[in-house]
């Protein structure tokens, strides 16, 4: 169901993008929007991982420099049937982590220094298993494409408002006037954001489930999520605040002032995620608060 829902949401996002293109320029606008989407997604496909790692000042570490983290990731990658990803550390006091890369053969996982200082080895394993689940599911590519299309819709919406107000009735083949252009400019980016957030929440639940299976201990991840959420609330992530469009990449929302599990959040409510993991542990016969 999670994959089907994601596919439907991606189709809705693409349809919205093409619809805005048609409203801006009729059939020619539709073609231009389609070509623009292809070009932007091709660029994101090849370069998004380098961009986001550079954005957060992530540095690649070898087994000699981060032996514990490398060993954990290597063991979990074997469990998941994945090639060993590149491992990065981000010098940031907020405890958090993310995965990136266009496919499992070009994947990278990154953890902040705050996370490595805060969590136990078992909790780090739970977090890295969650990130490898994103890699296994190719969520990193899905969310990159989603963010790219959402940004393009916002750009086209601005054109829609301009063209709707400036073009005469004889020049339009799409029936969009000044009011239509204004409505598109206002509501198309909002609709795109809602779809993007819905996809992000869906993929987080799925990564929690598969990550728990990869590490074999759902409560390791549940414990880590509780501690990461509390830590992220206390410690500001200035790089994330400067680049809020990347918030969906992280295992917990790095932005302040976020919390409710509603339409406008990139992450599910933490209590809901933890409760699902606890139910998984009960089904596996695992007991104890975080054992």
Listing DSSP states for 62-103 in one string gives -TTTSHHHHHHHHHHHHHHT-PPPEEEEE--SS--EEEE-SS
Strand, helix or coil at 108?
A: strand
Strand, helix or coil at 110?
A: strand
Is 243 annotated in a binding site? The answer is no
Which pLDDT score, from 0 to 100, does residue 21 have? 75
**Is 291 contained in some domain?**
no
Would strands 97-100 and 86-90 be described as parallel, antiparallel, or unpaired? Answer: unpaired
Q: Take residue 114 and report the two structure tokens written for it.
A: 């705050």
Is 204 annotated in a binding site? The answer is yes
Q: How many CB atoms lie within 10 A of CB 260?
A: 8
Which pLDDT score, from 0 to 100, does residue 143 have? 74
The residue range of the domain holding 279 is 2-283
Which pLDDT score, from 0 to 100, does residue 262 have? 56
Query: Which sign does the torsion angle of CA 93, 98, 101, 107 carry?
Result: positive
Least Cα distance to 237 among 57, 60, 73 occurs for 57
> In whole angstroms, what separates CA 206 from the centre of its chain?
12
Which pLDDT score, from 0 to 100, does residue 88 have? 98
**Is 226 contained in some domain?**
yes
User: Residue 131 catalytic?
Assistant: yes
Report whether 103 contacts 224 (CB < 8 A): no
Per-residue pLDDT 10s for the chain (291 aa) are 456 666 676 677 777 777 777 776 677 767 777 787 777 767 777 887 888 899 999 999 999 999 999 999 999 999 999 999 999 999 999 999 999 998 899 999 999 999 999 999 999 999 999 999 999 998 877 777 776 677 677 777 776 666 554 554 444 444 455 565 566 667 776 776 777 677 778 889 999 999 999 999 999 999 999 999 999 999 999 999 988 878 888 999 998 855 445 555 778 899 999 999 999 999 998 876 555
Task: Quote the pTM value.
Answer: 0.80
Strand, helix or coil at 217?
A: coil
Which pLDDT score, from 0 to 100, does residue 170 have? 47
Which pLDDT score, from 0 to 100, does residue 201 have? 81
Report whether 249 contacts 111 (CB < 8 A): no
Q: Phi and psi of 118, rounded to 5°?
A: -85, -40
Which pLDDT score, from 0 to 100, does residue 175 have? 47
**Is 288 contained in some domain?**
no
Strand, helix or coil at 111?
A: strand
| 250 DSSP 8-state letter | B
**Is 39 contained in some domain?**
yes
Would strands 108-112 and 86-90 be described as parallel, antiparallel, or unpaired? Answer: parallel
How crowded is the C-beta side of 165, counted as CA atoms within 13 Å? 9
**Is 289 contained in some domain?**
no
Q: How many CB atoms lie within 10 A of CB 148?
A: 20
Q: Take residue 112 and report the two structure tokens written for it.
A: 């902040």
Active-site residue, selected from the candidate residues 131, 171, 241, 275: 131
Is 134 annotated in a binding site? The answer is yes
Query: Residue 221: CB partners within 8 Å, gap ≥ 6?
Result: 123, 126, 127, 129, 130, 208, 211, 212, 215, 277
Q: What's the structural domain count of the chain?
A: 1
**Is 64 contained in some domain?**
yes
Q: Take residue 60 and report the two structure tokens written for it.
A: 């690649």
- Please report where in the chains the tokens 């779809």 appear, as a residue: 195
**Is 178 contained in some domain?**
yes
- Please report where in the chains the tokens 């990139």 appear, as a residue: 266
Q: Take residue 261 and report the two structure tokens written for it.
A: 């599990």
| Helix (H) or strand (E) run with residue 60 in it | strand 59-60
- Cα distances (Å, whole numbers) of residue 282 to 205, 278, 291: 18, 6, 11
């Amino acid at each position: 169901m999670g994959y089907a829902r994601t596919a439907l949401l991606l189709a809705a996002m693409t349809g919205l993008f093409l619809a805005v293109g048609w409203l801006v320029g009729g059939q020619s606008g539709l073609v231009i929007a389609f070509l623009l989407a292809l070009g932007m997604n091709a660029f994101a496909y090849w370069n998004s991982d380098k961009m986001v790692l550079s954005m957060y000042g992530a540095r690649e570490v070898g087994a000699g420099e981060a032996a514990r983290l490398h060993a954990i990731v290597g063991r979990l990658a074997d469990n998941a049937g994945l090639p060993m990803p590149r491992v990065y550390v981000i010098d940031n006091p907020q405890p958090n982590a993310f995965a990136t890369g266009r496919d499992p053969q070009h994947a990278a996982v990154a953890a902040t220094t705050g996370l490595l200082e805060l969590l136990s080895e078992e909790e780090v394993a739970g977090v890295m298993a969650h990130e490898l689940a994103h890699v296994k599911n190719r969520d990193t590519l899905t969310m990159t494409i989603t963010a790219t299309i959402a940004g393009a819709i916002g750009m086209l919406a601005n054109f829609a408002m301009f063209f709707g107000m400036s073009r005469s009735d004889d020049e339009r083949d799409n029936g969009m006037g000044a009011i239509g252009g204004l409505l598109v400019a206002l509501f198309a980016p909002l609709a795109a954001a809602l779809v993007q957030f819905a996809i992000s929440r869906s993929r987080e639940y799925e990564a929690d489930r598969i990550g728990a299976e990869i590490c074999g201990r759902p409560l390791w991840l549940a414990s880590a999520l509780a501690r990461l959420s509390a830590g992220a609330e206390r410690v500001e992530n200035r790089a994330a605040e400067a680049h809020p469009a990347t918030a969906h990449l992280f295992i917990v929302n790095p932005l302040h002032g976020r919390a409710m599990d509603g339409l406008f959040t990139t992450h599910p409510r933490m209590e809901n995620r933890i409760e699902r993991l606890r139910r998984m542990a009960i089904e596996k016969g695992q007991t104890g608060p975080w054992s």
